[in-house]
Amino acid sequence: MTTVDVPHGSRSAVLRISAVIAETADACSLVFEVPEELGERFAYQPGQFLTLRIPSERTGSVARCYSLASSPHTDDRPKVTVKRTADGYASNWVCDNVKAGDELEVLPPSGVFTPKDLDEDLLLFAAGSGITPVMSILKSALARGGGRLVLVYANRDAESVIFAAELRELAEKHPQRLVVVHWLETLQGLPSAEALAALAAPYTGHRAFLCGPKAFMDRVHDALAQLGMPRNRTHAEVFTSLSGDPFAESAPAEVSEQEAADAATVEVELDGQVHNLRWPRRQTLVDIMLAKGIDVPYSCQEGECGSCACTILEGKVEMDNCEILDPEDIESGYILGCQAHPVTDHLKIQF
């Protein structure tokens, strides 16, 4: 049995796993027990993810982000789904070792891959384990929204379809609101941008959410661009393996008198509250917010997970690492708070 004595930082918590569900031959779901006193910290939005601390004999641990497949509106407990990857240490360790009753260290939910309005019509694209956050959004919209939903789900073959039975049941229960289109590589080959555009053509007024391997999402982006869908109505979830340790406590860097004197000013809106802060140019936005005790959303602090994505409304920043953002995202004003440094003297930013 895997047990964890104490969390490694003030933001994380040790959660017990109440169930492990075999979804397919190479994917399983972990259902977590959340004690009542942690309920508020682990409340989540559809499409968000959890960061798990996975034990490793080589490095002590690795951190991995796994999307929540559960819905906060239909499921009593949060559930993440993990699919094995060929050389993935963490995914294979989880699928081989984790059992009900085990404990894992977990960071609170994070991520911005979530609809602002569950009543909107949604066009959902997923491939493989990319169905995980999409499933959370789909179930939430059916339970709490009133819009029409279309899911295009690509897999290698019928045996690889995660949540196949649940999707079938949802489609039967909501025939007027949900259309599920399966694309199987063994029968139809790899989906091309042209084929995806043909499937999406009747739904260009919907808001699109997509998650899956990069090659798949590139083709979906191409398909939606062919149809003229505005980029600001398209939302993509991208994960990379975290190389650092987001569970470790990070001490704020010391600021010299000269740096303090040259600091920019920033107005930050977060959860309906506005914070006016001094922003030394060597520090990141996440750094200065943490130093002020503000509960800013972040996970990796390396520009790899997108948890701290926000919008710059006034001013200009430079970023150390922004590869996770598409050029269109940056053009639309998205920045990563953990990578951003001020260029102009005054800025206005919204989370």
pLDDT tens across 164-192, in order? 999 999 999 999 999 999 999 999 999 99
Residues 296-310: pLDDT tens digits? 888 788 888 888 989
pLDDT confidence band for 328 (50 / 70 / 90): confident
Q: Which residues pair with 52 in a beta bridge?
A: 64, 106
Long-range contacts, stretch 87-94, CB < 8 angstroms, 24+ apart: 89/54, 89/56, 89/62, 90/52, 90/54, 90/62, 90/64, 90/241, 91/64, 93/54, 93/55, 93/56, 94/28, 94/30, 94/52, 94/54
User: What are residue 286's phi and psi, to 5 degrees?
Assistant: -60, -40
Query: In Å, how far are 46, 124, 224, 326 from 232, measured between CA atoms?
Result: 19, 15, 12, 12
CATH 3.40.309.10 for domain 257-350: no
Within the chain, all domains assigned CATH 3.10.20.30 are found at: 257-350
- Whether pLDDT at 207 is above 70: yes
Task: Return the minimum-mean-pLDDT range out of 24-28, 111-115, 127-131, 281-285.
Answer: 111-115
Task: Tell me the pTM.
Answer: 0.85
Q: Which pLDDT value is given to residue 25?
A: 95
Q: Which pLDDT value is given to residue 304?
A: 81
| Rounded (5°) CA angle 70-75-80 | 25
Q: What is the CATH code of the structural domain delimited by 122-237? A: 3.40.50.80
CATH 3.40.190.10 for domain 13-110: no
Residues 99-157: pLDDT tens digits? 999 999 999 998 888 999 999 999 999 999 999 999 999 999 999 999 999 999 999 99
Of the chain, the percentage scoring pLDDT greater than 90 comes to 74
User: What are residue 272's phi and psi, to 5 degrees?
Assistant: 80, -5
Residues 239-271: pLDDT tens digits? 766 766 788 776 666 778 888 899 999 999 998
Containing 131, the helix (H) or strand (E) segment is helix 131-144
Q: Is 272 exposed, middle or buried (0-12, 13-18, 19+ CB in 10 A)?
A: exposed
How big is the chain, counted in residues? 351
What is the side-by-side order of every strand in the sheet holding 346-350? 273-279, 264-270, 346-350, 309-314, 334-336
Within the chain, all domains assigned CATH 3.40.50.80 are found at: 122-237
Residues 47-72: pLDDT tens digits? 999 999 999 877 778 899 999 999 99
